[in-house]
Each structure stands twice: as structure tokens, then as C-alpha cells.
């Protein structure tokens, strides 16, 4: 895909644009409704990559001056069939596992940061339920009483229009028109990565690296799945009375790989 064709619903383009602190702050303020939000770290993605060993998990994650953590994910039309509450649970779990302090006693969970998990979609996720809002907020309740877990789940969509500044920005996500200057630092970043030669080159390299990383992850997943299938073959042969050595030979798998996947 040519760089000029990217929209902000393409996660690689969104991630690159959000590397600019002013842009990230502008978008996060509108998404959360916190007008005085100040990001001290506009992208702590690299730190999380080092901790969780995955580079394509989170589209954007930042931290504000009070320690709150903001995760923003963009979903395209192709994600609609697989979109749901488990996505939010998955992203929250990654953040919690990565950022909770370790080794400071059994109440480390008290130090979990306040987290905003925000999904931006081109489709209305609650349309089939007759809901027609730009913003949906999910909260946890116990017997009708709000149970504050310091987790805010916010779902924003560009299908519904209400004329608000937030809604207008979400419409802009669908075009990422470099000639549209209404959205301050966000418009500036989009224009920079679509028009300025050196920035376009950077964007192209980022896309290539992203594609290579996706290919690597897919290959690793396939390799794991093949190993698991072979492990199941060995297990079946062992149940039939085959000796381990022969079962491993038939399944074409070594004993170390078999043991690692059998106990996984």
C-alpha cells in the first residue's frame, strides 16, 4: 500500500503518527475527555516490548504526569468479526503484567496504575443492539454498585456522527487527509508523514519492518502449532504401546521439543 493511501485506522500508520508527543497528547485528550492531560512519556511501547517480547501487541501506550497509563488501539473493518470484550481484557492483562512492580511484597497489586484502554473503530460495535453513540464506556459493577478497579474501558466509533469535536476527529481517522488542517498536531503529523520526503521514507521503512515482524510472528506461531500437532501424534502412539524412541521417529520430532510442548 502506498503511504498516501494510509488512514489512521491502519495500525502501523497510527503508531508512527502517535510517536509525536503533541499529537499523542491531543488524541488522548479528546479520547478521554481529560482536557488538561499531560503526557510525560508519549510512547512507552519499547519498554513494554522488552518486557513482553512482542512488538505488534499495542498500537499506542503512554503515561501522564499522574502515573495513569493510556492504551489506544485502532481496529479496521476487517477486525469487526473478531471484535469484542475479550480484546479489552487481553490488552489490560498485558499492561498489568508488564507494569506491576515485582518483588515488593504480597500487595504489589495495590501499585497497579490506573489504566485507560481505548478502542477506536470505524464501525459501531453496539449497532446490533440498537445503540447509536459515538462513545461507549464499560464499567464493573457488583450488585448494582460500581466496583472501581481503576480500569476505564472506552469504545469510540467513527460510524456514528454527533457533531462533537471528538466525532469530527474520528471522521478524520477514516481519511487522514493531509490537506485537512482542522486537527492541530494530528493534522501536522499526518501531513508530515505523507508529504515530507524523509518522513515518507521513514514511514516506508516502518511499514517494511512491520510486515517483516508480522511474517516472523506468523512463522513462529505456525512452528509452535506444528510442534504441538507432532506432540499429540507421539502421545497417541505412546498410548498404543509404541516405545518413545519409535514414536518420536514416526512423528519426526526430537525428544527435547516433544517434552517442551508436552509440558507447556
pLDDT tens digits in sequence order for the chain, 264 residues long: 567 788 999 988 898 899 899 999 999 999 999 999 999 876 655 545 444 444 446 789 888 989 899 999 999 888 888 788 888 888 888 777 777 655 555 566 777 889 999 999 999 999 999 999 999 999 889 999 999 888 999 999 999 999 999 999 999 999 999 999 999 999 999 998 888 655 556 666 666 665 555 556 555 666 666 777 778 888 888 887 888 888 888 878 888 888 877 755
Compute the distance between CA of residue 244 and CA of residue 249 in angstroms, rounded to an integer.
Answer: 9
37 belongs to a structural domain: yes
* Same domain for 190 and 101: yes
* Same domain for 243 and 190: no
* Same domain for 135 and 41: yes
Coil/strand/helix, residue 224: helix
Q: Please list, in sequence order, all residues whose beta carbon lies within 8 angstroms of the beta carbon of residue 249, skipping any fewer than 6 positions away.
A: none
139 belongs to a structural domain: yes
* Same domain for 134 and 54: yes
Position 257 scores a pLDDT of: 81
207 belongs to a structural domain: no
Task: Give the phi and the psi of residue 195 in degrees, each rounded to 5.
Answer: -115, -40
Position 86 scores a pLDDT of: 85
Helices 21-32/165-175 angle, 10° precision? 130
Position 34 scores a pLDDT of: 95
Compute, in degrees rounded to 10, the torsion defined by CA atoms 215, 221, 227, 232.
-140
Residue span of the structural domain in which 145 resides? 3-195
Position 226 scores a pLDDT of: 73
159 belongs to a structural domain: yes
152, 167, 195: which is the final residue of a domain?
Answer: 195
Helices 165-175/184-195 angle, 10° precision? 10
* Same domain for 191 and 219: no
- Between strands 39-41 and 60-64, the pairing is antiparallel
144, 165, 195: which is the final residue of a domain?
Answer: 195
Q: Please list, in sequence order, all residues whose beta carbon lies within 8 angstroms of the beta carbon of residue 3, skipping any fewer than 6 positions away.
A: 13, 193, 194, 200, 203, 204, 207
CB 133, CB 160: distance < 8 Å: yes
Is the model's pTM score more than 0.85?
A: no
Compute the distance between CA of residue 68 and CA of residue 7 in angstroms, rounded to an integer.
Answer: 28
User: Which run of H or of E encompasses 245?
Assistant: helix 244-251
* Same domain for 91 and 56: yes
| CA 240 from centre of chain | 45
Coil/strand/helix, residue 43: coil
* Same domain for 113 and 49: yes
* Same domain for 249 and 166: no
Position 221 scores a pLDDT of: 60
170 belongs to a structural domain: yes
Position 136 scores a pLDDT of: 97
Position 237 scores a pLDDT of: 82
Where helices occur in 53-177 by DSSP H, the ranges are 85-99, 165-175
* Same domain for 176 and 225: no
205 belongs to a structural domain: no
Position 138 scores a pLDDT of: 92
Distances (CA, A) of 157 to 58, 70, 154, 245: 18, 18, 10, 56
Position 47 scores a pLDDT of: 45
CB 58, CB 49: distance < 8 Å: no
Compute the distance between CA of residue 139 and CA of residue 173 in angstroms, rounded to an integer.
Answer: 26
161, 195, 229: which is the final residue of a domain?
Answer: 195
> Around Cβ 250, how many Cβ atoms within 10 Å?
13
Q: Please list, in sequence order, all residues whose beta carbon lies within 8 angstroms of the beta carbon of residue 151, skipping any fewer than 6 positions away.
A: 92, 114, 115, 117, 140
221 belongs to a structural domain: yes
* Same domain for 233 and 178: no
99 belongs to a structural domain: yes
* Same domain for 88 and 40: yes
Position 48 scores a pLDDT of: 52
For the chain, how many structural domains are there in total? 2
Position 77 scores a pLDDT of: 83
- Between strands 115-121 and 69-74, the pairing is parallel
* Same domain for 140 and 219: no
Amino acid at each position: 500500500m502506498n503511504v498516501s493511501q494510509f488512514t489512521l485506522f491502519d495500525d502501523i500508520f497510527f503508531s508512527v503518527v502517535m510517536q509525536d508527543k503533541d499529537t499523542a497528547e491531543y488524541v488522548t485528550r479528546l479520547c478521554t475527555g481529560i482536557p488538561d492531560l499531560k503526557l510525560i512519556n508519549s510512547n512507552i511501547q519499547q519498554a513494554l516490548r522488552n518486557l513482553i517480547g512482542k512488538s505488534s501487541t499495542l498500537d499506542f501506550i503512554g503515561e501522564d504526569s499522574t502515573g495513569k497509563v493510556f492504551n489506544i488501539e485502532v481496529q479496521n473493518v476487517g477486525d469487526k468479526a473478531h471484535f469484542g470484550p475479550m480484546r479489552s481484557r487481553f490488552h489490560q492483562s498485558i499492561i498489568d503484567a508488564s507494569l506491576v512492580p515485582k518483588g515488593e511484597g504480597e500487595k504489589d497489586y495495590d501499585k497497579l496504575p490506573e489504566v485507560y484502554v481505548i478502542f477506536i473503530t470505524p464501525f459501531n460495535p453496539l449497532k446490533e443492539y440498537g445503540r447509536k453513540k459515538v462513545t461507549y464506556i464499560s464499567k464493573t459493577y457488583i450488585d448494582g454498585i460500581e466496583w472501581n478497579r481503576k480500569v476505564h474501558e472506552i469504545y469510540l466509533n467513527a460510524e456514528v456522527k454527533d457533531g462533537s469535536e471528538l466525532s469530527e476527529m474520528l471522521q478524520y481517522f477514516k481519511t487522514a487527509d493531509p490537506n485537512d488542517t482542522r486537527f492541530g498536531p494530528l493534522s501536522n503529523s499526518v501531513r508530515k508523514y505523507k508529504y515530507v520526503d524523509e518522513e515518507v521514507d521513514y514511514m516506508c521503512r516502518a511499514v517494511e519492518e512491520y510486515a517483516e515482524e508480522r511474517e516472523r510472528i506468523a512463522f513462529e506461531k505456525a512452528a509452535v502449532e506444528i510442534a504441538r500437532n507432532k506432540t499429540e501424534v507421539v502421545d497417541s502412539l505412546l498410548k498404543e504401546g509404541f516405545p518413545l524412541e519409535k514414536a518420536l521417529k514416526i512423528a519426526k520430532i526430537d525428544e527435547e521439543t516433544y517434552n517442551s510442548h508436552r509440558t507447556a
